[in-house]
Chain A
């Protein structure tokens, strides 16, 4: 299995997905001071901090960075307490009405929209000193976005961070739900770019609100109908609409539909934050989450013909990566933590006395 050992699991050979587009009207607060004085740039301390932590990309598992003193000058978890309370009220309401979008007064964060400002605000509002944070982007713990957010919270909240799904109490994610099953007591926070599932059919916000209020969800099936009419199957493979608790149709953000079944009856609390649209919504533990479909075109998840090129897994979501200039393709787990853990356990077995 020498091929296995030669493969670099780090981010550098991975095809990096494009970031969400940055809106052109983003605040001037992100710009340096015109006269170049560095001491009054918002978030100066954060910018000067080291981005990568020692051992972070070396495959070290477990809680690799212990809590450390918070950066002075910032409240715990960056947001002030009033803002957190406001967010928590919105989150409570969202939990009480599963799948319903609840507006909140979004704050400017020291990063642009599209980088997870909604998820970060939700995480900041629910974070306590005893929490352990895991951040993933495209299933990976070591992409830029994940690394920055983890580093941000380690600095402003001083809490321990991890890459291990099992050890984390809060998992902030974009695009994926970890392969490792979530458990009770965990909270998964999704960064959501477009929270409104009806937006594709109905541009008017007033109208979509009415449609949610009156449970007028026929148009969601029109969208799926169009898919089948054009592609012969339901081609929507991410952000696949779901019905939450038999009442609200919800957008699971850019999640691949592969992960939709994981939301159903999950023991963990699922929170969704959209920074640009300033909405939160939630799926409380053990709630029904059904993917919309047709009787003759039932919902199904993606399958791959090949196992993961690294760990050999056949039941996980795989990314296609190009490993050399000749265009050689390799399918590997998108959940790097899960992939590495599986690989390690296989190695352990091989290296055991029975082998």
Chain B
């Protein structure tokens, strides 16, 4: 991110506050504190020979924050997401994650077993295509219950009860619990994928174009659902999208990527309403007005 690491405010001498700045004031909240951040991405880059997948990206994420990475296809946003969630190993830089235990781990130095355990407990990953994130031949209840069973749940009745309550939360009729996802509409599949991820009450969820490929009306419903769940559960989300409206609705902060580099970042509505970089202005002005 381009913003300064520590945001002190230089108070001009003419300021009405000059000299009265109290020591009691809490430290500016943007200064990274060792106990607050959930995810620290530091100078992460990925090169394929001479070709840049993504270059020197840094950001951190706190509990309850939603960060959107926007850009056109090929801008490196998906590469970045893969690097951050540990599926891809960066050429440079590192990604650290604070486990619920409070310890900070280098995601890429974690043993594979721990990383996979994270991905089914404290993390979630919502794929653009629900087929990549669901077991299409397993019933909705089984899809939702898988994480519970992977974490040691061995009581069928309880697993099913949880499945029913999650179907309700993602607005799918409980009587569809034994149906396989192939019989679901695209929007329902995506909602089921979200339920399957959130059932383990993750702390960090990665979303790759979660509303891509859906009808506009279905998109709105899904967006609202994601927004509600993120708030209710206090989720931290790294969201990749090319849709600026999605970013505006869901994200607190925004990073705009082009050719593997972050060209602009900051408060979501500020970047969208007052874009400064040439490329961001182009992106914003290209949005069709609904």
Contact = CB atoms under 8 A, between A and B. Distances in A.
Q: Do chains A and B touch in the complex (CB under 8 A)?
A: yes
Interface of A: 201, 210, 214, 216, 218-219, 221-222, 225-226, 228-230, 293-297
Contacts of B139: 226, 229-230
Contacts of B8: none
Given A225-B141, A225-B142, A229-B178, A218 B151 contact: yes
B155 A229 contact: no
Contacts of B177: 229
A294 B156 contact: yes
A202 to B, nearest CB: 9
Given A221-B153, A225-B156, A296-B157, 17 more contacts: A210-B112, A214-B116, A216-B150, A218-B146, A218-B149, A219-B149, A221-B149, A222-B135, A222-B146, A225-B141, A229-B160, A230-B178, A293-B154, A294-B154, A294-B156, A295-B156, A297-B156
A216 B116 contact: yes
Contacts of A219: 146, 149-150
Contacts of B146: 218-219, 222
A226 B138 contact: yes
B157 A226 contact: no
Contacts of B112: 210, 214
A226 to B, nearest CB: 5
Given A201-B135, A219-B150, A225 B145 contact: yes
Contact of A294 (B116, B138, B155): B155
Contacts of A228: 156
B135 A214 contact: no
Contacts of A225: 141-142, 145, 149, 156, 159
Interface of B: 112-113, 116, 120, 135, 138-139, 141-142, 145-147, 149-151, 153-157, 159-160, 177-178
Contacts of B151: 218
A210 B112 CA distance: 9
Contacts of B153: 221
A214 B120 CA distance: 13
Given A201-B135, A229-B178, A218 B141 contact: no
A5 B241 CA distance: 78
Contact of B149 (A214, A222, A230, A293): A222
Contacts of B150: 216, 218-219
A210 B116 CA distance: 10
B116 A229 contact: no
B157 A229 contact: no
A228 B149 CA distance: 14
A297 B141 CA distance: 16
B155 A295 contact: yes
B53 to A, nearest CB: 23
